[in-house]
Structure 1
C-alpha cells in the first residue's frame, strides 16, 4: 500500500514542533487510528510490549487494534508465536518468537553491564559455567527462579542467592512459559531458554544494529540517537545512525536536537485529531524516548509513575492527561486537569469501548466515574 506523503518538508534544517512529533509517534504507535493488524504483527511492528505484569500487553493492543480480543494475544502465546522475555531496559517484554531470538542478542551487552552490579555476590563464580549449568537445568525441566537458585547454590554455596539468579537471567535468554501470561489464567513464573521453547537457536549477536535502528524509527520516530539508546538500554549507537544517514531524513526538534527518520514514514499534519486512549502501566509510548515531551507535557512529568510503581494512563488529544483504574464496580478516570464537556464524552465513550473489549461479560456492570487524582 502506498502511503500518502506528508506535507512536512524534508529539509534537514526543518524543525518539528512538539505537536508534529506527537502525531507522528502516535501514528506509528497505532494510537492515532486503530489498525487492522493481527496481534502478532502488531507486537512485531512495535518491537515488543512492556510486560512487567501479565495484563498490560493486552490493554496495550486493545488501545491500538481494531477488532482485538484478549484471545488474539493469548492464543499465539500458548502456540509459542510470542513469548515473555527480558530484553530492553532489563524489563520483561512480550516479543514475537523471531524478535526474542534476535533482539535479546542485540541487548546482551546491557545485560552484561547489569551483571557487574552483582559481582560482590558472585565472588568465585565462573559465569560461563553458571550459564551452562543453568541452561542444562531449565532445558531438562522448566524451573521457577526459586528452584533455579536452589540448584545453583549447591554448586556455589557461598554466593549470594539473588545474585546467582540475576546471573542466570542475564547470561541466558530465559522465557516465561504459559500459563504465565495467558489471559484469564494464573501461573507462577516458570523458565526455560528461548531456544528450547521455540525449537530453534538464537541468532548470533548482529555485528551492527542497523536493521533495529530502522525498525525503531518505524515504530517511534522521528527520534534522536539518545532516544533510541533510552529505548534499548544501550550506548554507542551513534555509529549506526551515521552509517544510515544517507538513507534517512534529518530534522530538529524545538530545542535543536537532531532527529532521524525514514523517508517514507508517516508524519501527519499537527492538526490531525487524536482520540482518547486508555494505556496500561509501563506502556512503551511513555518510556521509549530520552525527551518525552512529545507525549508527556512538562507540567505532568512524573505523574504517570511514582518510584517503581507505574499507573495506567489516559491520553487526551495525544498527550498524557490523567490516570485510570478499575475498581470492583467502576472504571475510575482521574484527569490531571479540567476536561471540556466534549472531551469528557469522548473519554467516557472510549472507556466504555475498552471495557467491552477487555471485559465483555461484565462490561455493563461497571459505572464510569470521573474523579480526582489521589495524592
Structure 2
C-alpha cells in the first residue's frame, strides 16, 4: 500500500469524504474522543463529519450534555460521550496525573489542597448548579486557595481527572463546569485490559491505517498497551505494510471502497492530523518542512493532501476566509477551496 492509499483510507475511515452521521453525538461516538482544545474549530471538526451540520446543532448537543468536553487521553481538551467518559478517564487519567506531577510541585499544590478544592466544588455545584471559571475563582479565593498563574487550571483539571467535574452548558460565551455525577450516567466499571482493548479497536477502526506509534501518540498510553490491545482484537484487526512500516486497521476495511478524494478546510487539531505521529501520508513530500504549520494551524486539504493553511475573520454578518497556500494553486484547487469555504460558511449559518 502506498502513502496516497493510506491517506485515502484515513480520510474515508474518518468520514471526511462522505456524509455519514446525522447528529453531533453520533460523530463523537464513532470517533470515541476528539481533540477540542480550540472550541469553535472543534465544533467544525464534528460538523465536517455530519450530513447536515450546523454550529448551532453542535453547540446544542454540548449544552445539553449529549457531548462532554474534558481533559482525557492526553493533558488537553477532548469531546467524549457521557457513556464513555468514565472508562476513558479511568484508563488515561493516571498517566496524565503522573505527567502533571512536576507542574503540581512547581505550583505548590498537593493532596490536601486538591481535597479542599474538590470539597468546595462538590458543595457549590450540588443540585445541578453549573459554575463559570470566574465564579469558581471567587469561591476558591474566599476559602484561601490561590488561583494565580496555572493553579486554577491545575485545580480544575485535577477535579476532571478524579471524575468530580466535567463541562456544563455555556453561559453566554463563558464555559461552565458541572458535577460529573449529575451530567453523565453511572456506567459499569470495566477492567483495564478491556478498556485498552476497547480504545485500541475504536482507534484503528476510525483512524486506520495507523501504526502502533500513532496510537501511542494519540492515546497517551504505552507501546505495550497498544500491542496488548491489538492481540485481544486480533480477529477484528488486520495489518498492511507500507515503506517498511506496519499499519493496522479494522479487518472489514475495504480499500476498494475508499476511492473518493476529499477537499475541505480542516480545523486546527483535527483528528486527521493530530491522531498520527507521522503525517507524511497527508503532507506532500515537498511540503514536509511545513509540518509545524499543519499541526498548529487550520489546514487546507485538497484531494486528501494538505497544500496550505487558512484563517478566518468573523464579522457580525460574514466570515472572511484567507487561504495561505504553500505553492501556486491551479484552477481545480481554487474551485475546490471555494466549495470548501462555502461549506464552512453554511455550517456557521451564513448561507
TM over 0.5: yes
Aligned 8 A contact 1:275 1:346 in 2? no
Aligned 8 A contact 2:201 2:229 in 1? no
Residue 244 of structure 1 pairs with residue 230 of structure 2: no
Alignment CA distance shift 1:101-1:266 (3 Å): farther
Aligned 8 A contact 1:60 1:279 in 2? yes
Give the whole-Å Cα distance in 2 for the aligned partners of 1:285 and 1:91. 17
Give the whole-Å Cα distance in 2 for the aligned partners of 1:25 and 1:221. 6
In the superposition, the TM-score normalised over structure 2's length comes to 0.84
What does residue range 13-52 of structure 1 map to in structure 2 within 5 Å?
16-52=1-37
For the residue of structure 2 that corresponds to 1:292, the secondary structure is coil
Q: Which residue of 2 aligns with 1:320?
A: 306
Q: Which residue of 1 aligns with 2:191?
A: 206
What does residue range 137-152 of structure 1 map to in structure 2 within 5 Å?
137=123, 139-140=125-126, 141-145=129-133, 147-148=135-136, 151=139
For the residue of structure 2 that corresponds to 1:323, the secondary structure is strand
Aligned 8 A contact 1:35 1:64 in 2? yes
Q: How many residues align?
A: 337
Q: How many angstroms does 1:176 deviate by?
A: 2.2
Alignment CA distance shift 1:39-1:306 (3 Å): same
Alignment CA distance shift 1:69-1:132 (3 Å): closer
Alignment CA distance shift 1:36-1:132 (3 Å): closer
Q: Which residue of 2 aligns with 1:292?
A: 279
Q: Choose between structure 1 and 2: higher helix proportion.
A: 2
- The one of 306, 310, 334 equivalent to 2:296 is 310
What does residue range 1-375 of structure 1 map to in structure 2 within 5 Å?
16-120=1-105, 121-122=107-108, 125-126=111-112, 129-130=115-116, 132-133=118-119, 136-137=122-123, 139-140=125-126, 141-145=129-133, 147-148=135-136, 151=139, 162-163=150-151, 165-170=153-158, 171-173=161-163, 174-179=165-170, 186-198=172-184, 200-201=185-186, 203-204=188-189, 206-208=191-193, 209-235=196-222, 236-237=224-225, 238-254=227-243, 256-268=244-256, 272-301=259-288, 303=290, 305=292, 310-327=296-313, 328=315, 330-360=320-350, 363=351
Give the whole-Å Cα distance in 2 for the aligned partners of 1:194 and 1:22. 37
Q: How many angstroms does 1:293 deviate by?
A: 1.3
Alignment CA distance shift 1:130-1:19 (3 Å): farther
Listed one character per residue, the Cα deviations across residues 16-38 of structure 1 (whole Å, up to 9, x for unaligned) are 22111111110011112222442
Give the whole-Å Cα distance in 1 for the aligned partners of 2:141 and 2:326. 49
Listed one character per residue, the Cα deviations across residues 26-79 of structure 1 (whole Å, up to 9, x for unaligned) are 001111222244221111112233221221133213322222222322222232
Aligned 8 A contact 1:223 1:261 in 2? yes
Q: How many angstroms does 1:318 deviate by?
A: 0.3
Q: How many angstroms does 1:125 deviate by?
A: 3.7
Deviates more, 1:62-71 or 1:212-221: 62-71
Alignment CA distance shift 1:156-1:315 (3 Å): same
Give the whole-Å Cα distance in 2 for the aligned partners of 1:155 and 1:269. 60
Alignment CA distance shift 1:61-1:189 (3 Å): closer
Deviates more, 1:35-44 or 1:314-323: 35-44
For the residue of structure 2 that corresponds to 1:332, the secondary structure is strand
For the residue of structure 1 that corresponds to 2:39, the secondary structure is coil
Give the whole-Å Cα distance in 1 for the aligned partners of 2:266 and 2:203. 20
Give the whole-Å Cα distance in 2 for the aligned partners of 1:95 and 1:274. 28
Aligned 8 A contact 2:266 2:298 in 1? yes
Structure 2 unaligned spans of 5+: none
Alignment CA distance shift 1:26-1:124 (3 Å): closer
Give the whole-Å Cα distance in 1 for the aligned partners of 2:109 and 2:268. 37
In the superposition, the TM-score normalised over structure 1's length comes to 0.79
Q: What RMSD in Å do the two structures reach over aligned CA positions?
A: 2.9
